[in-house]
Amino acid sequence: MSSLRFSITSREGMARAGTLGTPHGEIQTPAFVPVGTKAGVKGILPSILESLGAQVVLANTYHLYLQPGEQIVKDAGGLGTFMDWKGPTMTDSGGFQVFSLGAAFGRTITKIAKGEELPRDQGMAVYDQEVQSQHGQLAVIDDQGVTFTSHHDGSLHRFTPERSIEIQHALGADMFFAFDECTAPTEPYEYQKEAMERTHRWALRSIKAHRQNIEASRTQAIFGIVQGGRHTDLRKESAKEIASLGFDGIGIGGSFSKEDMRGALQAAIPELPDELPRHFLGIGEPGDVLTGIAEGMDLFDCVAATRLGRHGTIYTKRGPITLTNEKHRTEFMPLDPETLVPGTEGFTRAYVSHQLRSHELLGQIIASMHNLGFIIQLVDGAREAIHEGRFATYREDFIRNYYGTV
């Protein structure tokens, strides 16, 4: 019996708004989920997260397994109590991090490819030559699981679907994900299919491991993950298979080109049960979020808002700006005159630019707060627009202003 209660209250086309009930409170969907990788959103107190409108936080299984260890989190009373967050919580499976922080730690890793696909023997478009030589040494995937080395100390570890579920049971989040293989977006069709089929086998093992724990099944919900890269036939096949396994919710994994993202969603979503919540993993760029909502997704998580903020880039209704650029040193105006973010109202671009250029933490914190508030407000506005039957116009207006096009 799932601990989740999900009801859809409004629709406009494929877009939908609803209420997702969890043991720690309700989530109004669609909703953006801030990422608290190590049981904390970088630089942001939980009370500030709440003031920004965050409804739910997602933490990282890989990182919490390595530090401080899932038993410490369990002994503290679970993830929410450990980080002093009273609302709903989620954890990922650790699959993406095992790959990106094992085989490619310290390199550029994205779930959305940019540019043309490269042949497999030339490496992957988002990785450099050194990554090729490391892949298969620091993270080795086989049909049973993944063996990897810690990026902290080089110690050897192994994740299987059963082990990932065991860790996530100990972390105690309201919702968590089955163990999957997240491939690089530019991997060829043959490997995407192989990885998808392995993900399906791991999904079955994950849900069995979860259902065997009666107490966890009553208090925690498990989401399966649809894979298949940029290929619509694989996405359709994966969605059918994952939908058949009895998960409490469905996640759609990344690993497609930006141009193919909408096609991948359109192939997968018609195969998913309408009554289950849908989570778009690792998606947080404003236009991509609105695309996901338009296609019927309910939840989104991404580190981009805080990561960009720490490096000096903020969202505005007229597009992103980098505050460390020279022209912003003397701009005595709000960060975004069209977006009021609680806690940042009194700061000007000039001031935050000064803080960032001086390498002061306060500048990073203010920019991160602004970006989180911006993306949360964007999704909240989309939800309100769905309720009022004007989401299509809302999306078109935002895209026109933010990107200069529709």
Name the helix (H) or strand (E) containing 21.
strand 15-22
CB atoms inside a 10 Å sphere around CB 156: 9
Mean of per-residue pLDDT scores for the chain: 90
Q: Is the pLDDT of residue 268 over 60?
A: yes
Confirm whether 92 is a catalytic residue.
yes
What percentage of the chain has pLDDT greater than the value 90? 79
Bond into 185 cis (ω within 30): no
Max mean pLDDT range (90-99, 115-124, 366-375): 366-375
Average pLDDT (363-387) is: 98
Average pLDDT (376-405) is: 97
- Domains of the chain by start residue, with CATH: 5-303 (3.20.20.105), 310-403 (no CATH)
Q: Which residue matches tokens 């995407």?
A: 192
Name the helix (H) or strand (E) containing 216.
helix 214-219
The alpha-carbon radius of gyration of the chain (Å, integer) is 20
Q: Exposed, middle or buried: residue 159 (CB in 10 Å: 0-12, 13-18, 19+)? A: buried
Cα three-residue angle 125-127-129, rounded to 5 degrees = 105
The residue among 148, 293, 168, 281 whose CA lies nearest residue 227 is 281
Choosing from 248, 288, 298, 301, which is the catalytic residue?
301
Q: Is the pLDDT of residue 13 over 80?
A: yes
Q: Is the pLDDT of residue 127 over 60?
A: no
Average pLDDT (36-63) is: 97
Choosing from 92, 174, 260, 288, which is the catalytic residue?
92
Tens digits of per-residue pLDDT, 64-111? 999 999 999 999 999 999 999 999 999 999 887 776 644 444 444 455
Q: Which of 3-7, 154-158, 242-246, 311-315 has the lowest mean pLDDT?
A: 154-158
Average pLDDT (21-36) is: 98
What pLDDT sits at residue 265?
A: 95
Strand order in the sheet with 146-149: 139-141, 146-149, 156-159
Distances 123 to 120, 264, 293 between C-alpha atoms, Å: 5, 23, 33
**This prediction's pTM:** 0.91
Contact 250, 243 (CB under 8 A): yes
Local confidence band at 342 (pLDDT 50, 70, 90 cut-offs): very high
Average pLDDT (113-128) is: 34
Give the strand pairing for 249-252 and 256-257: unpaired
Residue 184 tokens, joined: 């690089």
Contact 254, 112 (CB under 8 A): yes
Contact 221, 251 (CB under 8 A): no
Instruction: Give the C-alpha separation, 104 to 146, whole Å.
Output: 14
Instruction: Give the C-alpha separation, 95 to 116, whole Å.
Output: 25
Q: Is the pLDDT of residue 120 over 50?
A: no
What pLDDT sits at residue 121?
A: 30
Local confidence band at 149 (pLDDT 50, 70, 90 cut-offs): confident
What pLDDT sits at residue 129?
A: 37
